[in-house]
């Protein structure tokens, strides 16, 4: 089968990384990029993770076999509406959004009959944004979840699945609602918690912001990384996965209140029991290859590996 | 002034790192170590971050000019009681505990007249435990907070301050209650939140633990690191800093409820505003030298630096 002509709509962290990964694997006959901002288009041109930069959305998707939507999910409906007439027969639209049900609803409302949509979500990212942030290795050894429904063309699903594997990821097929629940707990609520604690710390009267920053190596700094993630992307995630997030948040808060009681009533046994349990979970994550074995995330400060047992 | 004879009581992550740092800087005339477990004593002997391993607490502190208490804070009262009679005239006791007020109360209840106590807290650590976890660089460029009160001998404070600086840290003098409040927000509550979310994720019925682990690169994995910290140490922290932790937790929960409402009522503006604010705080932390500039904590996955601006 011929290599596809691929269009990248949106060229931030994810879009640019896809460009780099496609080039690394020589996976496309041509890569055309488009972004709203002319500044981004210029930077993409300079960096070179696309072969051609289009000046309009319609131009970008013309002749494309595969169109990647790499934009905040809140923008997807309008984009699909605006590109619909320019899509070739049998074009495959796919996305990278962190929520799936609402994206599918948004796309399906405007998808022309002659195109196919394969919903996808690569579980990968850094806290950086923009075309300069991307790199080819972002998706290596990460999971990419696809959430086709019963009507989605199976050949198109296979095409997108193969492409993500060629870009370094493992692919999992999942029901869209289940995806949204899983991601609520593994990603959305952790981010919300991080955003929250950084905000709470910033608002204290008795402890200055400079003290919080100075002494952040005590644990706080780990939270600030993901609290530095793209504000627009995350706003759209919470606006579009409200139900699952609220369910997980309710459980989180119930459990936190329980811990709070244990602290107030000095129930040391309950505390120690939970803390021992959570240590085991960390071990499993490292063993599953989903995080580094280096202590302190390998921030260059320790020669030791997490797997290293003692006492 | 002659180099001191230093005793290390407790030889886990912190105690062993102090041993390594003292040797690196050739800061002691002799380093004697003691731990409750004979296994730890044997390992310390083998690794060699002490010159001599004592078989009893009393033997370890005999003749010591400086005694470091590197143990869970719940053990401190008994240890000071048991060592009191063996301390030489003018011996300086110091600690590394993450809470200060309760440690000072515990020590002062048993400290003999002829010894001095200088409360200290090096803001440093990894999620590992035990004598094999230590390394000399742990304290480099970190803050060490000392919380002497009005009665603490000033010369002793200077001695301990100089020693921590020689081991690589910057030293700050602070009121003990203020320390406990600052650490409640920069360390204790972040750890509690991390422990909690890992626990909540483990208890779900609709999402399996293996799914949580598989898809943990979405944000969850960052929390699991600090949720893998020493259970006993952390149990004692929460048992001994209850008031400050509960105050900070109340604020955290109020703010979280406010975010929850914004999500339920789809107040995108409020969400975006908070998320943009927290991004700025991350920047300050990196600029203050308190975390790496590398994206994703430099987990070997991105060539980019956090300070790298785009768009």
Under-50 pLDDT residues of chain B: 306-311
Does some domain include residue B311?
no
Residues A71 and A28 in one domain: yes
- Residue A3 predicted with pLDDT over 50: yes
The token pair at A203 is 């608002």
Query: Do A182 and B227 count as a contact with CB atoms less than 8 A apart?
Result: no
The reported pLDDT for the residue numbered A107 is: 97
Angle between helices B101-108 and B176-183 (to 10 degrees): 140
The reported pLDDT for the residue numbered A264 is: 97
Residue partners of A255: CB distance under 8 A and separation at least 6? B196, B199, B200, B203
Give me the mean pLDDT over the A80-97 stretch: 98
User: Which of A114, A149, A175 is at the close of a domain?
Assistant: A175
Residue partners of A200: CB distance under 8 A and separation at least 6? B185, B248, B251, B252, B255
The closest alpha carbon to A224, from A232, A215, A233, belongs to A215
Domain count, chain B: 2
- The CATH number that applies at residue A235 is 1.10.3660.10
A138: chain B residues, CB-CB within 8 Å:
301-302
Does some domain include residue A311?
no
Query: Do B242 and A224 count as a contact with CB atoms less than 8 A apart?
Result: no
Does some domain include residue B208?
yes
Of B214, B215, B288, the CB nearest to A213: B288
B201: chain A residues, CB-CB within 8 Å:
185-186, 281
Q: Which residue has the higher pLDDT, A145 or A274?
A: A145
Residue of B184, B215, B233 to mutate, testing the A interface (most A Cβ within 10 Å of its Cβ): B215
Residue A89: how many CB atoms within 10 A of its CB?
Answer: 8
In angstroms, the separation between the Cα of residue B244 and the nearest Cα of chain A is 11
d(CA B302, CA A292): 13
In angstroms, the separation between the Cα of residue B2 and the nearest Cα of chain A is 31
The reported pLDDT for the residue numbered B125 is: 87
Residues B61 and B170 in one domain: yes
- Residue A293 predicted with pLDDT over 80: no
Q: What is the ipTM of this complex?
A: 0.85
In angstroms, the separation between the Cα of residue A75 and the nearest Cα of chain B is 14
Residues B160 and B216 in one domain: no
The token pair at B58 is 């009393």
d(CA B95, CA B103): 9
User: Residue A311 — very low, low, confident or very high, per pLDDT cuts 50/70/90?
Assistant: very low
B207: chain A residues, CB-CB within 8 Å:
181-182, 185
Residues A167 and A287 in one domain: no
Classify A20 as helix, strand or coil. Answer: helix
Residues found in chain A:
311
User: Which of A157, A175, A193 is at the close of a domain?
Assistant: A175
User: Which of A175, A194, A211 is at the close of a domain?
Assistant: A175
Query: Do B213 and A276 count as a contact with CB atoms less than 8 A apart?
Result: no
Of B140, B221, B239, the CB nearest to A266: B239
Positive/negative CA dihedral, A94, A108, A180, B279: positive
Query: Do A185 and B200 count as a contact with CB atoms less than 8 A apart?
Result: yes
- Residue A310 predicted with pLDDT over 60: no
Q: What tens digit of pLDDT does each residue of A192-219 get?
A: 999 999 899 888 877 887 888 888 877 7
The token pair at A306 is 């997490």
Q: Are A164 and A210 in contact, with CB atoms under 8 Å apart?
A: no
Q: Are B225 and A222 in contact, with CB atoms under 8 Å apart?
A: yes
Query: Do A297 and B297 count as a contact with CB atoms less than 8 A apart?
Result: yes
Q: What tens digit of pLDDT does each residue of A106-163 get?
A: 999 999 999 999 999 999 988 888 999 999 999 999 999 999 999 999 999 999 999 9
Residues B114 and B79 in one domain: yes
Of B43, B188, B227, the CB nearest to A282: B227
Does some domain include residue B20?
yes
Query: Do A227 and B263 count as a contact with CB atoms less than 8 A apart?
Result: no
Domain that holds residue A56: 5-175
The reported pLDDT for the residue numbered B310 is: 29
Q: Are B206 and A186 in contact, with CB atoms under 8 Å apart?
A: no
Does some domain include residue B48?
yes
d(CA B102, CA B73): 8
Residues A142 and A274 in one domain: no
Residues B100 and B247 in one domain: no
The reported pLDDT for the residue numbered A272 is: 94
Residue of A185, A239, A258, A277 to mutate, testing the B interface (most B Cβ within 10 Å of its Cβ): A185
Does some domain include residue B248?
yes
Query: Do B239 and A271 count as a contact with CB atoms less than 8 A apart?
Result: yes
Report percent pLDDT > 90 for chain A.
75
The reported pLDDT for the residue numbered A307 is: 36
Which chain A residue is nearest to residue B222, measuring alpha carbons? Answer: A222
The reported pLDDT for the residue numbered B304 is: 62
Which chain A residue is nearest to residue B292, measuring alpha carbons? Answer: A299
Size of interface A-B (CB pairs under 8 A): 431
d(CA A143, CA A277): 25
The reported pLDDT for the residue numbered A306 is: 45
Residues B160 and B210 in one domain: no
The reported pLDDT for the residue numbered B303 is: 59
Please give the model's pTM, rounded to 2 decimal places: 0.84
The reported pLDDT for the residue numbered A236 is: 94
Residues B244 and B157 in one domain: no
């Amino acid at each position: 089968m011929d290599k596809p002509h691929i269009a990248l709509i949106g060229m931030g962290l994810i879009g640019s990384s896809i460009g780099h990964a496609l080039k690394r694997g020589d996976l496309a006959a041509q890569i055309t990029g488009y972004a709203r901002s002319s500044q981004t288009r210029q930077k993409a041109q300079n960096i070179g993770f696309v072969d051609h930069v289009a000046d309009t959305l319609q131009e970008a998707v013309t002749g494309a076999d595969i169109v990647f939507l790499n934009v905040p999910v809140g923008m997807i409906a309008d984009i699909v509406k605006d590109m619909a007439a320019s899509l070739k027969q049998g074009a495959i639209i796919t996305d990278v959004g962190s929520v799936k049900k609402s994206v599918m609803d948004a796309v399906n409302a405007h998808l022309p009959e002659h195109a196919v949509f394969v919903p996808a979500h690569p579980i990968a990212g850094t806290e950086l944004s923009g075309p300069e942030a991307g790199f080819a290795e972002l998706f290596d050894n990460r999971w990419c979840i696809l959430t086709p429904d019963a009507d989605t063309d199976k050949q198109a699903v296979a095409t997108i699945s193969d492409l993500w594997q060629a870009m370094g990821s493992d692919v999992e097929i999942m029901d869209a609602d289940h995806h949204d629940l899983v991601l609520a707990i593994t990603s959305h609520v952790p981010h919300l918690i991080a955003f929250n604690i950084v905000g709470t710390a910033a608002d204290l009267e008795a402890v200055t912001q400079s003290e919080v920053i100075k002494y952040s190596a005590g644990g706080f700094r780990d939270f600030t990384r993901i609290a530095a993630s793209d504000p627009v992307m995350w706003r759209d995630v919470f606006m579009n996965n409200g139900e699952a997030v609220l369910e997980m948040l309710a459980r989180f808060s119930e459990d936190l209140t329980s811990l709070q009681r244990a602290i107030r009533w000095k129930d040391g046994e309950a505390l120690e029991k939970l803390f021992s349990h959570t240590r085991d979970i960390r071990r499993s994550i490292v063993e599953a290859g989903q995080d580094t074995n280096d202590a302190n995330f390998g921030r260059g400060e320790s020669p030791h590996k997490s797997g290293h047992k003692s006492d």
